[in-house]
């Protein structure tokens, strides 16, 4: 238990240190007011302080990542993200009408009283923020049927609609590949299959000339249609790299996701998504994408199915293995493959993640990588040993904040 005197001492020391830091920052920001510090013996010290405090100020401005205290699930096998699914939607059948005649005391022929059947339910896709993938969506979607009609002019009950929650940003395509629905905002709905109408009872067919009809309608059949559901965006960041570059290990280190890690290529065949929490109540989604090889845009390896995942990430993390010979050539190949598939994807924010910095010879490759790519932002890490992961997460948060501010500005400009 700390005493009150020691607590006061710590507060005084903290105030003194903060005051010294404020004075140094003021001197760095206003060098003309402190010309006596421009002597040669102080110049190197001033440059060092400028780098130190500028980086410290940037780190303070960015929210810090939170370490998850919850234990990872031990369920096997871990679930991957399902971002494409073909479904068959069938609307509910309408209820049949009733053939009935009313019988009253003293009047056995009181006329027809058959009620109508209820309408069948619709199959409705609804955008929701509570789901992140399409794995929960069944292949066969069927709405309930309407209730049949009853005697004494009682109509059958209409069936409830079958609502299927899908992630926000789901694109719905028909059999011909045409986009028929885009659920870009929470709460937006799309009627995939309409239910059939309920049939009329014999009371509906009574006329002046036909007062005792013995005919009723059957309920209408619901629509049966096929759709392809695709996620337009699966994550804020996508881990892009060659096989065995350490993408799955990195996702395991920074999130609670559990992608497969093995010493052979193409261990990841489907994308896995993890979430990084920050202390400003923001969360950033990171996707571990399948490995890319040269000529993937010509459908080599996983081919187009892999590049489709890249197109749905708002920012790219180019993971490079520093233990490989000439790792800078891998960056060129990655960008070339993405450019051949979709050139606009390269306009999105990019961050080069130099992995396996703990391996022998990696420091030399890192220096050469920075020399050959001076305009790119490079973060050297070791996903296996947890080196520089906090720095990487802060860089990601900075890119995420800039992307969100630009999106908000574009939205405000469009509304004006």
Name beta bridge partners: 85: 229
C-alpha–C-alpha distance, residues 234 and 240, integer Å: 14
Residue 91 predicted with pLDDT over 90: yes
In this predicted model, what pLDDT tens digit does every residue of 147-181 receive, in sequence order?
Answer: 999 988 889 999 999 999 998 888 899 988 899 99
Q: What is the mean pLDDT of the segment spanning 114-125?
A: 94
Specify the higher pLDDT residue, 214 or 76.
214
Cβ count within 10 A of residue 24: 15
Helix, strand, coil shares, percent, the chain, to 5 = 30, 20, 45
Residue 415 predicted with pLDDT over 70: no
For 208-302, list the strands marked E by DSSP: 224-231, 235-241, 272-277, 283-288
Out of 92-101, 188-197, 267-276, 301-310, which region has the weakest mean confidence (pLDDT)?
301-310
Helices (H) and strands (E) in the chain, counts: 7, 14
Cβ count within 10 A of residue 322: 24
How far is the CA of 299 from the CAs of 109, 174, 232, 303, 362, in angstroms? 76, 24, 21, 4, 32
Nearest in space to 287 (alpha carbons), one of 266, 263, 310: 310
C-alpha–C-alpha distance, residues 291 and 308, integer Å: 13
Cβ count within 10 A of residue 122: 22
Q: What is the mean pLDDT of the segment spanning 105-109?
A: 74
In this predicted model, what pLDDT tens digit does every residue of 314-333 receive, in sequence order?
Answer: 888 899 888 888 888 888 88
Q: Which helix (H) or strand (E) holds 379?
A: strand 378-380
Residue 74 predicted with pLDDT over 90: no
Q: What is the mean pLDDT of the segment spanning 96-112?
A: 83
Residue 7 predicted with pLDDT over 50: no
pLDDT confidence tier of residue 296, bands split at 50, 70 and 90:
low
Give the mean pLDDT of the chain.
78
pTM over cut 0.75: no
Q: What is the mean pLDDT of the segment spanning 6-27?
A: 44
How far is the CA of 200 from the CAs of 8, 112, 120, 145, in angstroms? 85, 12, 14, 15
State residue 56's pLDDT score.
Answer: 45
- Nearest-5° Cα angle at 108, 105 to 109: 135
Q: Is 250 in a helix, a strand, or coil? A: helix
Distance from the Cα of residue 293 to its chain's centroid: 24
C-alpha–C-alpha distance, residues 340 and 338, integer Å: 5
Q: Is 78 in a helix, a strand, or coil? A: coil
Specify the higher pLDDT residue, 382 or 49.
382
* Residue 335 CB-density burial (10 A; 0-12 exposed, 13-18 middle, 19+ buried): middle
Distance from the Cα of residue 270 to its chain's centroid: 14
State residue 117's pLDDT score.
Answer: 93
In this predicted model, what pLDDT tens digit does every residue of 227-236 receive, in sequence order?
Answer: 999 887 777 8
Contact 99, 229 (CB under 8 A): no
- Please give the DSSP secondary-structure letter assigned to residue 107: B
């Amino acid at each position: 238990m700390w005493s009150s005197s020691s607590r006061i001492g710590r507060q005084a020391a903290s105030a003194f240190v903060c005051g010294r830091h404020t004075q140094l920052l003021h001197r760095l920001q206003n060098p003309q007011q402190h010309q006596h510090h421009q002597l040669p013996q102080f110049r190197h010290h001033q440059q060092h302080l400028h780098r130190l405090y500028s980086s410290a100020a940037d780190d303070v401005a960015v929210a810090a990542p939170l370490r998850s205290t919850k234990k990872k699930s031990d369920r096997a096998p871990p679930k991957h993200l399902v971002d494409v699914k073909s479904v068959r939607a069938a609307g509910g059948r309408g209820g049949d009408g009733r053939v009935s005649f009313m019988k009253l005391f003293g009047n056995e022929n009181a006329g027809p009283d058959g009620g109508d059947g209820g309408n069948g339910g619709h199959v409705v896709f609804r955008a929701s923020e509570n789901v992140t993938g399409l794995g929960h969506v069944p292949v066969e979607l069927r709405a309930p049927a309407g209730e049949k009609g009853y005697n004494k002019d009682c109509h059958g009950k209409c069936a409830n609609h079958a609502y299927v929650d899908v992630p926000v940003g789901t694109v719905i395509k028909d059999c011909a590949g045409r986009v028929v629905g885009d659920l870009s905002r929470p709460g937006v709905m799309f009627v995939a299959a309409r239910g059939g109408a309920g049939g009329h009872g014999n009371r509906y067919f009574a006329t002046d000339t036909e007062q005792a009809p013995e005919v009723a309608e059957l309920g209408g059949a619901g629509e049966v249609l096929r759709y392809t559901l695709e996620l337009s965006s699966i994550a804020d960041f996508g881990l892009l790299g060659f096989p065995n570059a350490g993408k799955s290990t990195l996702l395991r280190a920074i999130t609670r996701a559990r992608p497969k890690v093995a010493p052979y290529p193409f261990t990841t065949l489907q994308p896995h998504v993890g979430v990084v929490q920050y202390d400003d109540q923001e969360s950033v989604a990171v996707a571990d994408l399948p490995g890319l090889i040269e000529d993937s845009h010509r459908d080599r390896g996983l081919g187009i199915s892999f590049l489709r995942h890249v197109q749905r990430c708002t920012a790219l993390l180019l993971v490079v293995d520093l233990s490989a010979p000439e790792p800078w050539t891998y960056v060129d190949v990655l960008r070339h493959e993405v450019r051949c598939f979709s050139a606009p994807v390269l306009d999105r924010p990019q961050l080069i993640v130099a992995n396996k910095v703990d391996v022998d010879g990696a420091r030399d490759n890192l220096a050469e990588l920075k020399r050959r790519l001076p305009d790119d932002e490079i973060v050297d890490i070791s996903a296996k040993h947890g080196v520089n992961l906090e720095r990487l997460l802060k860089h990601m948060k900075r890119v995420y904040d800039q992307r969100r501010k630009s999106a908000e500005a574009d939205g405000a400009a469009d509304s004006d």
